[in-house]
């Protein structure tokens, strides 16, 4: 099939009723939404007599075991391949090539979905793929269990930063309200997902915060995260990313800069700005680009030289902004 067929909610329910022997693919570096979607769907399909198995290129973090351990993931001779919460085939990671052109159905909420599957159920207004899965349970219908409800709650909660982000809608909260009638502990899930840190992550935070520099009357904050810090603390890139975003959320800071060392020793410079500064213009001067509020570039060389380079461009932008003159 050369062109993706977009399905309605009724269409995807019919598809799921008509097919069987499902392989459900979660995206690589799996998060709460792809796992919540995949496991809830597998459990639901089991409940209506369909066979399922799940696959993910990467290991499934143990913190999700409160729902993953309740699904017995036995190999089956699958006939139908479904990808969940996956906007692009490459996001399947190391197994992408094995499934290129072989995904029958994709269930997703990313507006950027690349239509890589034969059939697509896309609800780009959904805060999480788990909202789509909830709708499918209700429409097909399949009965939610306490476990599948906890899996769907996990996706809603993790993809919205616990209902904080701008992707949340009234519907997200309405679904959460419905899920509360099942027997699981949403507060315990929240504690696990948001308020539990590894010792390494705490040590990484300490190291990165120790690099904090404030410049230009507190209008610029600079953080520096190195590979050595990652290695010393056993943290990964996502931990580093999580710490580096601190520079974006400090009161009075108009330019939050994080410098993250890459494997080749060069630095990824991420810049978040607030008006009147323009991140895109600043990064363009440094050979990069991006959006008005968030942009980046790659710089090589000595870290102190890199800092000087970045700070001089920000200084110029601040002076121009506050002098009321334009940048040209």
Exactly one of 17, 197, 262, 316 binds a copy of itself (CB under 8 A); that residue is: 197
Binding range to a copy of itself, per CB under 8 A, among 101-109, 213-221, 271-279, 319-327 = 213-221
Q: What distance lies between CA 159 and its chain's CA centroid?
A: 7
Give me the residue label for tokens 């159920």.
121
Maximum alpha-carbon separation in the chain: 70
Task: CB nearer to a copy of itself: give 1 or 177.
Answer: 177
User: Under a CB-based contact definition with an 8 Å cutoff, are residues 201 and 175 in contact?
Assistant: no
Q: Contact between 176 and a copy of itself (CB under 8 A)?
A: yes
Burial class (CB in 10 A: 0-12, 13-18, 19+), 265: exposed
Among the listed residues 61, 26, 58, 56, the one whose alpha carbon sits nearest the alpha carbon of residue 41: 26
Shortest distance in whole angstroms from residue 92 CB to a copy of itself: 29
Task: CB nearer to a copy of itself: give 24 or 175.
Answer: 175
User: Under a CB-based contact definition with an 8 Å cutoff, are residues 255 and 282 in contact?
Assistant: yes
Enumerate residues 6+ apart whose C-beta is below 8 A from 166: none
Binding range to a copy of itself, per CB under 8 A, among 35-43, 188-196, 230-238, 294-302 = 188-196
Q: Contact between 177 and a copy of itself (CB under 8 A)?
A: yes
Give me the residue label for tokens 């970045």.
310
Enumerate residues 6+ apart whose C-beta is below 8 A from 200: 233, 234, 235, 239
Q: Are strands 220-225 and 22-26 parallel, antiparallel or unpaired?
A: unpaired
Q: Contact between 166 and a copy of itself (CB under 8 A)?
A: yes
What phi and psi, each to the nearest 5 degrees, are found at residue 256? Answer: -100, 115
Going by the DSSP 8-state scheme, the letter that residue 104 receives in this structure is -
Kindly compute the dihedral angle of the four CA atoms of residues 116, 120, 122, 127, in this order, to the nearest 10 degrees.
-70
Binding range to a copy of itself, per CB under 8 A, among 12-20, 133-141, 157-165, 271-279 = 157-165
Exactly one of 76, 139, 202, 228 binds a copy of itself (CB under 8 A); that residue is: 202
Give the Cα separation of 316 and 322 in Å (integer): 10
Kindly compute the dihedral angle of the four CA atoms of residues 204, 206, 211, 217, in this order, to the nearest 10 degrees.
130
Q: Contact between 292 and a copy of itself (CB under 8 A)?
A: no
Enumerate residues 6+ apart whose C-beta is below 8 A from 265: 300
Binding range to a copy of itself, per CB under 8 A, among 85-93, 209-217, 278-286, 315-323 = 209-217
Exactly one of 18, 231, 251, 304 binds a copy of itself (CB under 8 A); that residue is: 251
Q: Which 48-107 positions form the footprint of a copy of itself (CB under 8 A)?
A: none
Task: CB nearer to a copy of itself: give 114 or 211.
Answer: 211
Q: Contact between 255 and a copy of itself (CB under 8 A)?
A: no
Q: Contact between 174 and a copy of itself (CB under 8 A)?
A: yes
Task: CB nearer to a copy of itself: give 4 or 233.
Answer: 233
Binding range to a copy of itself, per CB under 8 A, among 7-15, 141-149, 181-189, 282-290 = 181-189
Exactly one of 73, 114, 162, 321 binds a copy of itself (CB under 8 A); that residue is: 162
Task: CB nearer to a copy of itself: give 105 or 220.
Answer: 220
Return residues touching a copy of itself (CB under 8 A): 157, 161-166, 168-174, 176-178, 180-181, 185-187, 190-191, 194-199, 202-203, 205-206, 209-210, 212, 214, 218, 221, 246, 249-253
């Amino acid at each position: 099939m050369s062109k993706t067929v977009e399905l309605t909610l009724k269409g995807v329910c019919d598809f799921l009723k008509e097919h069987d022997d499902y392989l459900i693919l979660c995206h690589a570096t799996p998060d709460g939404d792809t796992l919540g979607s995949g496991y809830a769907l597998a459990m639901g399909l089991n409940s209506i007599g369909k066979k399922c198995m799940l696959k993910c290129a990467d290991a499934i973090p143990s913190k999700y075991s409160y729902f993953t351990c309740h699904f017995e993931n036995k190999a089956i001779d699958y006939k139908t391949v479904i990808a969940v919460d996956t906007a692009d085939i490459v996001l399947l990671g190391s197994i992408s090539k094995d499934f290129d052109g072989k995904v029958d159905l994709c269930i997703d909420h990313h507006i950027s979905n690349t239509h890589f599957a034969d059939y697509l159920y896309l609800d780009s207004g959904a805060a999480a793929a788990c909202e789509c899965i909830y709708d499918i349970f209700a429409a097909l219908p399949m009965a939610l269990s306490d476990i599948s409800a906890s899996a769907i709650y996990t996706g809603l909660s993790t993809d919205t930063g616990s209902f904080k982000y701008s992707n949340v809608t009234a519907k997200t909260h309405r679904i959460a309200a419905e899920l509360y009638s099942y027997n699981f502990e949403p507060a315990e899930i929240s504690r696990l997902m948001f308020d539990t840190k590894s010792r390494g992550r705490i040590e990484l935070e300490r190291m990165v915060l120790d690099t904090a520099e404030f410049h230009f009357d507190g209008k610029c904050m600079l953080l520096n995260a190195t590979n050595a810090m990652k290695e010393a603390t056993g943290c990964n890139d996502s931990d580093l990313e999580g710490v580096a975003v601190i520079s974006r959320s400090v009161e009075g800071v108009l330019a939050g800069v994080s410098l993250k060392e890459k494997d080749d020793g060069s630095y990824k410079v991420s810049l978040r700005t607030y008006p009147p500064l323009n991140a895109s213009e600043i990064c363009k001067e440094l050979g990069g680009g991006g959006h008005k509020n968030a942009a980046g570039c790659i710089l090589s060389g000595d870290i102190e030289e890199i800092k000087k380079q970045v700070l001089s461009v920000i200084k110029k932008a601040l002076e121009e902004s506050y002098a009321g003159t334009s940048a040209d």
